[in-house]
Amino acid sequence: MADTRLTDHACVEYPIICGAMYPCSNPELVQAAANGGGMAIIQPVSLTVVHGFDEPDLNQGLVNGIRYIRSKTDKPIGFNALIEKGNDKYLQRMSQWIDIALDEGIRFFVTSLGKPDWVCDRVHARGGFVYHDVTTRYHAEKGVECGVDGLICVNNRAGGHLGSDSMEKMFDDLSDLGLPLICAGGVGSEVELKEALRIGYDGVQMGTRFIATTECTMPDGYKEAIVESGEDDIDWTVKLTGIPVSVIKTQGYKRENSWIVRSLLSGRLKHRTRWLLNSLSFRRWRKMSKGSKSSKDIWSAGKSVETIHSVESATTIMRRLGESLD
């Protein structure tokens, strides 16, 4: 067993995070990955808006969703808080959701796209830990200033939002900060997992590998595309959220936005513009998760597709990866 600062903070067997994914993080996937011995992260918008835990309202729906997952696993689970500026109503909702997650006993949080100082204050007051997604030294230092307990280092092989540096360079650039570093990007098998730990990372975060699972409720065509693709089939687009996202090359993808959107993204309305792009993408992905098909479907995935060759149970995958470290 590989004991690291991540396994200590998250109270899990293996230094592996099943990352939060919209809309892919359905509750069955979360519980299955947790049962495998790693840390599985709830994506609250996915849980409530996409996967049916929205009654009688979103707050009680989140409570019900967390308790449903708890009924399927007694293992620790985590919570993702996307805290970028741009919509005051959303941030108010996220603030309420963080309190709900804490009240429901969750003590491991992953923050994204914002300043996490206020999240750290609340979580630390309840004895929990906050890890923060970063792509650069600048954002890592901001996270340290805010009091985060670990850094999730999103590299240039990641799915979803991606960085520009390799896993090796990110570790070299950030290891002096003294916090646990988690490799996020390009990990699809035991080989990459062991290499990340050899470099010095305290663990890995994986997303794409856990989409191609029996418990994930994404369309079979999405899973098949992951299994059949190689890393040369992965490109990036900014059309989804305003910042680079890794996607499989399909008929529906294009790299760039229109000149109008590019202009808005470079000006004082960039946060609101990104929020609008995110909202439109969330609606598209929600329809896709319900089985709606379109020639414009865009499937997010990282370069770990190179080592993903089958659809398996998330529990089996997590356990096999973890046991490879013994």
Predicted confidence (pLDDT) at residue 82 exceeds the cutoff of 60: yes
Dihedral sign computed on CA atoms, order 202, 208, 214, 216: positive
Alpha carbon distances (Å) from 14 to 7, 40, 227, 265: 6, 11, 24, 40
Please give the structure tokens belonging to residue 37.
């011995």
In tens, the pLDDT along 244-283 reads 778 888 776 666 555 565 565 566 656 665 666 556 655 6
Query: What pLDDT is attached to residue 299?
Result: 83
In tens, the pLDDT along 290-307 reads 655 544 567 889 999 999
Helix axes 88-103, 117-125, angle to 10 degrees: 20
Residue 67 or 219, more confident:
67
Beta bridge partners of 130: 109
Beta bridge partners of 110: 80, 131
For 247, the enclosing helix (H) or strand (E) is strand 245-248
Query: What pLDDT is attached to residue 23?
Result: 86
Query: What pLDDT is attached to residue 279?
Result: 64
In this structure, which topology does domain 5-218+306-323 adopt according to CATH?
TIM Barrel (3.20.20)
Query: What pLDDT is attached to residue 196?
Result: 97
Residue 194 or 283, more confident:
194
Chain centroid to CA 108: 13
- What band does 237 get if pLDDT is binned at 50, 70 and 90? confident
Q: Using alpha carbons only, give the angle 287, 293, 298 rounded to the nearest 5 degrees.
A: 80
Residue 63 CB neighbour total at 10 angstroms: 16
Residue 266 CB neighbour total at 10 angstroms: 10
The domain limits of the chain are 5-218+306-323, 221-289
Predicted confidence (pLDDT) at residue 193 exceeds the cutoff of 50: yes
Residue 114 or 311, more confident:
311
Query: What pLDDT is attached to residue 260?
Result: 61
Q: CA nearest 294: which of 306, 305, 285, 282?
A: 285
- What band does 19 get if pLDDT is binned at 50, 70 and 90? very high
Between 160-164, 181-185, 227-231, the lowest mean confidence (pLDDT) is in 160-164
How far apart CA 45 and CA 258 sit, in angstroms, is: 27
* Residue-wise DSSP of 220-244: HHHHHHHHH--GGGEEEESTTTSS-
